[in-house]
Structure 1
């Protein structure tokens, strides 16, 4: 069956922006049009498709089942057209670009090495990296704003409908500054963990579940005095200038531990920490630049699993 020629590019842009913003008013601002114009365009699209794409609620708008189904095709369609236009602009088709979402818990170790190797082999390649909460990055991947998302996402409900490729498993650890009182506490250290402030990933994230599990396995009630953040830089700085304990993924702190800037507390248990991997939108074909990025990422991840990196 031929495509309905009544569907225009503006219909798709309107649909995607409402889905991204979850608000008619914010979508109108983003597209620089009036809210009545947004509503009219969406109504036209729904009439053409003979389906309701959004539900209105107190907290904004959300996709219906039909909207979710249409999203699988609308996002890749718009992105494919953008890529086609960009490929014809002067110089851009020669360079190639990959847009990668990276969870903060994995950005500091593998990604710099991957980008370095890529630039040694493909001097003109552009790597655009976005960071943020997993739910946000996966939503950007779903609508075609990102080509890949790297991190721990297998427990996230937002991963449904996307594909995940396992790279390696990473355990959690507990680190402190050099000279911390617990380092001299010996066997008493475990029972005193609750006496010190904690640095934890934010509530609701996949990595927070693993952090909480570590204390459950140790049989220790965690301190109520906490800093909750997904920023490795903030976590590191706070731990270095205080007596706080940082429940961190191994890959976020292994270089600091190796250099002696942080010290790992020896615990009787180890929390697995989950699967780190590549998340893709299977409905959207990956560019040559994206394939090259994945190839090098797999190469570096294998070296990491085998202990050859870093």
Structure 2
């Protein structure tokens, strides 16, 4: 087994070409060798030969033919995933060289979830800029379902926010920064604003702003609603946009569910009000996810340190 692994590694290092990987990724995306060949500007016979050479070198079958084209085998999916990662790393290297050439001290691409976007992330970035004033920073917002695939493919360096409970955990490194809870909030004009000892029954006449279906929190919300006599809100709005949610809460008598960390500043300023109802779900760790220590650039390591510094002050 070791001899086979060494043989395949030797072939990959001496014979594998980026053009072959580009073709592999294109075929996986197109599901068709002819279309992929056209995309790369080569003939179909040449493309077929390149795939056959890859299969011989790696000693596995990469694609299965169907009446609609070709689909990757489990071996093909694995090699395509690594190919995407290689191209992302090449792109990141080129971008980092360009940044350094322009006088920037490295580059870091950060994915952020709602739980980190208003407090932890800005503080960490402020720490990073103090340490590296010329670092180039890119921020992408989304849910774990959107950000984690980009993290795995190398398009994002680190993801900050609620740590995924199950999916993706076996493929990434996670560090917990602190635990956060979910808070029910309303606008200052809401009939329940300022009311003491609010019960769930008090909330049922009002609409809710809910997290997306694919999130752990939404599954917890739906499970709770089902346990409350199959409760269905009269109005439900699905949104992860904090600015939109805040505006909606101030304009209409809705109830929002957001991390306490996120709404703290607006509650202090009176822009929103904590509902005096203890949310019976939603506790969870906020932290940082990344592929591995070796995958992080010096700027990525510096940002991770900045995150820990910001978390320690909370």
TMscore range, shorter length: 0.7 to 0.9
1:95-106 alignment, distance < 5 Å: 95-106=105-116
Pick the aligned partner of 2:118 from 98, 108, 114.
108
Matched, 1:226 2:236: yes
The residue correspondences of 1:49-68 to structure 2 (distance < 5 A) are 49-53=58-62, 64-67=73-76
Q: Secondary structure at the match of 1:129?
A: strand
Q: What is the Cα-based RMSD across aligned positions, in Å?
A: 3.4
CA distance in 2, matches of 1:116, 1:237: 27
Equivalent residue number for residue 162 of structure 2: 152
Unaligned 5+ segments in structure 1 are 305-310
CA distance 1:210–1:58, change in 2 (3 Å)? farther
Q: Offset of 1:106 from its aligned partner?
A: 2.4
SS in 1 for 2:154: coil
Aligned equivalent of 1:308: none
Contact 2:207 2:234 survives alignment (8 Å): yes
The match for 2:300 is 290
Could you report, residue by residue, the CA deviation over 1:209-246 in whole angstroms, capped at 9, with x for unpaired residues?
Answer: 34446657878835141001111111111111000100
Residue equivalent to 1:242: 252
Residue of structure 2 aligned with 1:203, choices 191, 213, 218: 213
- Once the two structures are TM-superposed, the CA of residue 126 in structure 1 deviates from its matched residue by 0.9
The residue aligned with 2:268 is 258
Structure showing greater radius of gyration is 2
> How much does 1:160 deviate?
3.2
TM-superposed CA distance for 1:176, in Å, is: 0.4
Give 1:192's aligned residue: 202
> Which 10-residue stretch deviates more, 112-121 or 49-58?
49-58
1:27-55, Cα deviation, whole Å (9 max, x unpaired): x69x9536976964555534432323456
Q: 1:143 to 1:247 in 2, by over 3 A?
A: same
Please tell me whether the aligned partners of residues 108 and 157 of structure 2 are also in contact (alpha carbons under 8 angstroms).
yes
User: What is the alpha-carbon distance in structure 2 between the residues aligned to residue 78 and residue 269 of structure 1?
Assistant: 44
With normalisation by structure 2, the TM-score equals 0.80
Report the alpha carbon displacement of residue 270 of structure 1 after superposing the two structures with TM: 4.3
Match among 24, 27, 40 for residue 33 of structure 1: 40
Does 1:181 pair with 2:188?
A: no
**Deviations 1:86-143 (CA, angstroms, capped at 9, x unpaired):** 4544625752001111123421221111112211221111111112231221111111
In structure 2, relative to structure 1, the CA distance for the partners of 1:74 and 1:303 (3 Å cut) is: same
C-alpha change, 1:268 and 1:87, in structure 2 (3 Å) is closer
Residues 272, 60 of structure 1: alpha-carbon distance in 2 compared, 3 angstrom cutoff: farther
The counterpart of 2:16, out of the listed 7, 31, 46, is 7
SS in 1 for 2:308: helix
Number of positions where the alignment pairs a residue of Structure 1 with one of Structure 2: 299
CA pair 142-18 structure 1, distance change in 2 beyond 3 A: farther
Seen in structure 2, the aligned counterparts of structure 1 residues 288 and 249 have a Cα distance that, compared at 3 Å, is same
Q: Secondary structure at the match of 2:204?
A: helix
Equivalent position SS for 1:181: coil
Is the Cα contact below 8 Å between 1:211 and 1:248 reproduced in 2?
A: no
- Confirm or deny: 8 A CA contact 1:71 1:143 kept in the other structure: no
